[in-house]
A and B are shown apart, each in its own frame.
Chain A
Amino acid sequence: MHAAPLVALVGNPNAGKSALFNALTGARQKVGNYPGVTVERHAGRMTLNDGRPVELLDLPGTYSLDPSSPDERVTRDVVTGAQAGERLPDAIIVVVDASNLDNHLRFTLQLIALGLPVVVALNMIDMAERDGLTLDADVLSRELGVPVVPTVAVRKRGIDALKDALDALVGPGAVALRRSDPALHADIATLQRRARQIAVAATVSETPARRWTHTFDAIALHPVFGVGLLLIILFAMFQAVFFAGAAPADAIDAGFAWLEAQVTAAMPDGILRSLITDGVIAGVGAVIVFLPQILILFFFILILEASGYMVRAAFLMDRVMASVGLSGRAFIPLLSSFACAVPGIMATRTIDDEKDRLTTILIAPLMTCSARLPVYTLIIGALIPNRLVGGLFGLQGLVMFGLYVMGVVGAFFAALVLRRTVTRGASSGFMMEMPKYQMPNWRDIAIGLWTRVEIFLKRAGTIIATTTVVLWALLAFPQVPKDSAVSQVNYSVAGRIANGLEPVFRPIGFNRDIVLALIPAMAAREVAVAAIATTYAVDAPEGDAGDRAMKEKLRANWSLATALAFLMWFVFAPQCISTIAVTRRETNGWKWPAFMVSYLFGLAYIMAGITYWLATLAGL
């Protein structure tokens, strides 16, 4: 005996299902995961007009009960009672787009045939009217044999009527599936024809109205203006993530530094203080510092999705992405990864095809993220001569640009190879519905943002914080004896690991100091700068004097060949536990992050080696 009846929201993609879910449940929703698949389970509580509580389930949008992706399989399995860990719903709300009846009714017919109590939400009825379409809900109800309620989910219209209809459906009495219904097994074309007949019957009048979606598409999909518009939008987005995200991130950094200082002042020196400041506070800080970027990026992505523009961007970029075996949908996540791979990988959820999505996740860390910049700046500033090439370009800037290009070329090459090996499979290609443009609903955007943040903090955050503490332990133990001349770093487990790894890295031109710096830099790439400073005993590398001292030490200890190899290493190496943690979260297991780490370290080693030996041969 369950406390509350379970009602599932089902419908085609772009029917406005999530908006209806938000309108029915408000903020009372919980996002989880279905076991074994990366499909989110959105559930929420709603109250019927007579006060009875109902558990509402928002199922992934799908076109039929014949699934072509894990999301669509979940939808089918839930409504047929085959989904592990989910009970058979007591009723279904089928959400249909009023201006696209002939297509959406086909799936509705399939769902009605299941035998569960059904109410149809004739959604976005206002948009249909704007399109010059007048519909008769009563005729539709009679033809389908189930109640039909006109709704406008984003304006919260028709919600009470929908609840009334639901009231009558979720009474006592068990429901049973009609597995034998002929419509369940009917050929899709037959159902489609029947759907078209019903749509025609329910349409009172249809006057051709000027569709401004098509007018706007003439610009948005234009080979020249459309690409221009896309570039403007991307530029604004990139600027916002990169620069607007930087100030709050710095503030968070400063806040945690202040907290560390307070604890340092209040506690006696010792292992406990070190654990709290360098372990726990640094670990939690490493998680929180991502929030501004994640919030800003997802704010843009959710608006682009909700407005209908995202599919247009994918349309424009599809040809380019197709050349390496990806689809246009991979473009935005990859671009976001230039700021940071963590929100970039989270953004791959917009890619429907599993193989496409996996490939995109695997190459996302190759996009030059902002954490590489401090490392590049330091090494280039110290060891690349500041002179002009061809009297026009600075050599330093050219090297920096080369590193960005190297990342992109590496990513495309990796995608080509991956798509033919580990993520091989029939490409689902690029077949997408292009929804009508509409004004995003701010409440839906806010709920979407909160959902992302919650997922990041809960799932990735815990791994990031834990690993930071583990890294701290590697550097803090065993403790150096009081009178020893050896530094703590060298004496620690990390120092000993570096000793062991040094022979492995010698062939690619890395000395022990570099290997030692790479270990704490696993936490985040920019930590390499501080780590190098520690090994060369430079205090406060952030200051001007410290910066100069660092560069002198580097010039004294590194050859140009080593420096170039080190830069090349950072183009490829997955030196970022946050990325690894997010990959684990998004692929639901350790298999793919393990693969990602191995192939990227392998590439980094080979590319750094090639660079080192070419540079050495060139006499650098």
Chain B
Amino acid sequence: MATPHTASSGLRGFAPLREQMIASAGQTPLLIINRSCFSWEGMATPLSLEHLPQRTHATVAGIAWDQLAAPEARRLREFGFDEGVGVEVLHRARIGGGPIACRIGRMTVALRRRVAGAVHVSIAQPAE
């Protein structure tokens, strides 16, 4: 069940991003090029919720629905995951890649890393 990200769960920065780019098959090459420009236009940093540093305000940039099973996708929508919604990682169960707890809207929800990996976020300056 080992995911390619397990080893990097404690790291932040380039390494997990690279791995994520490789891991997210089914994406268009154009997107990968975009992501490799680390500080794209200096405005937003695209990365997945799985690797979003703790306690960093971000917004949902997009969700790779095709990476999720139907019930997972439905529950994610029901939790209010949608483009432009504010999101923040609150806690990570670090031992062996356990789930993460994140704030979405006014709710706190627990997600497994694989699901969090399908949620793309951008660390933007808070619009609020």
Contacts and interface: CB of A to CB of B under 8 A. Distances in A.
Contacts of A477: none
Interface stretch (A117-125, A385-393, A428-436): A428-436
Interface in B96-111: 96-99, 101, 105-111
Given A102-B80, A323-B1, A431-B76, A318 B112 contact: yes
Contacts of A227: 95
Contacts of A217: 90-91, 101, 108
A431 B93 contact: no
A415 to B, nearest CB: 14
Interface in A292-316: 311, 314-316
Indicate the size class of the contact surface on chain A.
35 or more
Contacts of B97: 319
B72 A428 contact: yes
B78 A64 contact: yes
A433 B109 contact: yes
A221 interface: yes
B106 A99 contact: yes
Interface in A415-449: 426, 428-434
A68 B74 contact: yes
Chain B at the A interface: mostly helix, strand, loop or mixed?
A: mixed
B60 to A, nearest CB: 11
Contacts of B101: 217, 221, 315, 434
Nearest to A68: B71
A393 to B, nearest CB: 28
Interface in A84-109: 99-103, 106
Contacts of A432: 109-110
Given A322-B1, A428-B71, A188 B78 contact: yes
Interface string A34-78: 000000000000000000000000000001101010000000000
Contacts, number: 109
A221 B78 contact: no
B62 to A, nearest CB: 13
B40 interface: no
A407 B74 CA distance: 37
A316 B75 CA distance: 21
A431 B75 contact: yes
A615 to B, nearest CB: 36
A1 interface: no
Given A426-B71, A428-B72, A316 B98 contact: yes
Interface in A177-219: 188-189, 192-193, 196, 213-214, 217-218
Contacts of B112: 318, 322, 429-431
Chain A at the B interface: mostly helix, strand, loop or mixed?
A: helix
Given A66-B74, A223-B95, A315-B101, A103 B107 contact: yes
Interface in A225-277: 227
A138 B40 CA distance: 45
A432 B69 CA distance: 16
A196 B114 CA distance: 27
B115 interface: yes
A322 B99 CA distance: 10
B12 to A, nearest CB: 17
The interface centre, meaning the residue of A193, A217, A431, A434 with most chain B CB atoms within 10 A of its CB, is: A431
Contacts of A318: 93, 98-99, 110, 112
Interface in B50-109: 69-72, 74-80, 82, 90-91, 93-99, 101, 105-109
A318 B93 CA distance: 9
A63 B78 contact: yes
Nearest to A436: B108
A319 B99 contact: yes
A431 B72 contact: yes
Nearest to A223: B94
A315 B99 contact: yes
A102 B90 CA distance: 20
Contacts of A99: 106
Nearest to A227: B95
A413 to B, nearest CB: 16
B79 to A, nearest CB: 7
Contact of B79 (A101, A103, A196, A328): A103
B93 A426 contact: no
B91 A221 contact: yes
B74 A221 contact: no
Given A319-B93, A434-B101, A311 B79 contact: no
A316 B82 contact: no
Contact of B107 (A66, A100, A221, A223): A100
A223 B109 contact: no
A103 B80 contact: yes
A189 B110 contact: no
Contacts of B115: 429, 431
Contacts of A319: 93, 95-99
Interface in B25-69: 69
Nearest to B106: A100
A323 B112 CA distance: 13
Interface of A: 63-64, 66, 68, 99-103, 106, 188-189, 192-193, 196, 213-214, 217-218, 221-223, 227, 311, 314-316, 318-319, 322-323, 328, 426, 428-434
Given A217-B108, A430-B110, 17 more contacts: A68-B71, A100-B105, A102-B80, A188-B78, A214-B90, A223-B95, A311-B110, A318-B93, A318-B110, A319-B95, A319-B98, A426-B70, A428-B71, A428-B75, A429-B112, A430-B111, A431-B72
Q: Closest 10 A-B residue pairs measured CB to CB? A: A63-B78, A319-B98, A221-B91, A434-B108, A223-B94, A431-B75, A188-B77, A432-B110, A319-B96, A68-B71
25 contacts: A68-B74, A101-B106, A102-B80, A103-B105, A103-B106, A192-B80, A217-B91, A221-B91, A314-B110, A315-B91, A316-B98, A318-B93, A318-B99, A319-B98, A319-B99, A426-B70, A428-B71, A428-B72, A428-B75, A431-B111, A432-B109, A433-B79, A433-B107, A434-B101, A434-B109
